[in-house]
């Protein structure tokens, strides 16, 4: 085995290119070295020459460039547990849309009063589906509660999501408190492929954005709540 040692004349800056030549084989090896703050040897292997074994070049560390020990990092403190329900305290700017000059402003029930004790999601916003499941709210099909709610148990999978997981739209969780006429046909045309939904459109308050990001959960912080179906393209599968 032919070995060629290259010893730099002095300290080298990070990213310096050093040429290492083998006089026996006439081969030139280029090694990109970054020796600042390191004390390790870098081995570069060239192509196998005719009639012989591989060429190895070893770069010895620059004298005086001993490895500097890393500074100890302060221990990270665990985050305090997030509350499971909404507190009764006021949220910043929750009352900015109310008319304080209205004589009935004082009797108006504020959001912190009406939502106190409701379950919240990871972002601290009210989790309406959990509130529905736990009985914290009990929607009515009509004003007088004379007719039962008729949920529609139909899931729609939207696959035009590029590298993101596919979107699962569950009709049941929506029709447990909304009638079909709330969404069809004004917001969504009830026909496959007729609604060019995109995140840009949602952020502009269209399609899903008519409710989400406004009264329903914030989509920007809750990608996994919609993008929940595995996408083979995202996993590198054919």
For the stretch 137-173, pLDDT in tens is 999 999 898 999 999 999 999 999 999 999 999 999 9
Q: How far apart are CA 155 and CA 168, in angstroms?
A: 7
**Looking up tokens 């699962």, which residue turns up?**
168
The average pLDDT across 71-92 equals 85
pLDDT band at residue 48 using 50, 70 and 90 as cut-offs: very low
The average pLDDT across 59-72 equals 69
Please check whether residue 60 is in contact with residue 5, taking contact to mean a CB–CB distance below 8 angstroms: yes
For the chain, how many residues are written? 238
- List the structure tokens of 92: 């910043």
Predicted TM-score (pTM) of this structure: 0.60
Q: How far apart are CA 132 and CA 216, in angstroms?
A: 13
- The domain 137-229 having CATH identifier 3.90.10.10: the answer here is yes
Q: How far apart are CA 175 and CA 149, in angstroms?
A: 8
For residue 207, pLDDT over 90 is answered with: yes
Q: How far apart are CA 134 and CA 200, in angstroms?
A: 33
Per-residue pLDDT, 182: 94
Domain ranges of the chain: 2-59, 137-229
Q: How far apart are CA 20 and CA 57, in angstroms?
A: 7
How do residues 179-206 score in pLDDT, each as one tens digit?
999 999 999 999 989 999 999 999 999 9
pLDDT band at residue 58 using 50, 70 and 90 as cut-offs: low
């Amino acid at each position: 085995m032919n070995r060629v040692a290259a010893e730099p004349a002095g300290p080298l800056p990070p990213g310096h290119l050093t040429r290492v030549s083998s006089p026996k084989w006439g081969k030139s090896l280029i090694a990109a070295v970054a020796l600042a703050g390191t004390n390790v040897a870098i081995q570069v292997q060239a192509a196998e020459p005719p009639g012989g074994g591989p060429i190895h070049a070893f770069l010895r560390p620059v004298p005086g460039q001993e490895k500097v020990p890393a500074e100890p990092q302060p221990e990270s403190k665990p985050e305090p547990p997030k509350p499971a329900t909404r507190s009764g305290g006021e949220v910043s700017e929750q009352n900015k849309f109310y008319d304080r000059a209205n004589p009935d402003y004082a009797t108006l029930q504020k959001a912190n009063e009406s939502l106190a004790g409701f379950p919240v999601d990871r972002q601290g916003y009210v989790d309406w589906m959990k509130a529905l499941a736990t009985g914290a709210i009990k929607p009515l099909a009509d004003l007088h509660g004379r007719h039962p709610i008729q949920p529609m148990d139909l899931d729609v999978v939207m696959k035009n999501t590029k590298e993101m997981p596919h979107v699962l739209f569950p009709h049941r969780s929506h029709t447990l408190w909304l009638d079909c006429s709330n969404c069809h046909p004004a917001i969504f045309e009830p026909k496959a492929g007729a609604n060019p939904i995109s995140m840009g459109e949602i952020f502009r308050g269209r399609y899903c954005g008519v409710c989400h990001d406004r009264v329903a959960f914030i989509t920007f912080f809750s990608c996994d709540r919609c993008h929940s179906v595995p996408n083979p393209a995202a996993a590198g599968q054919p």
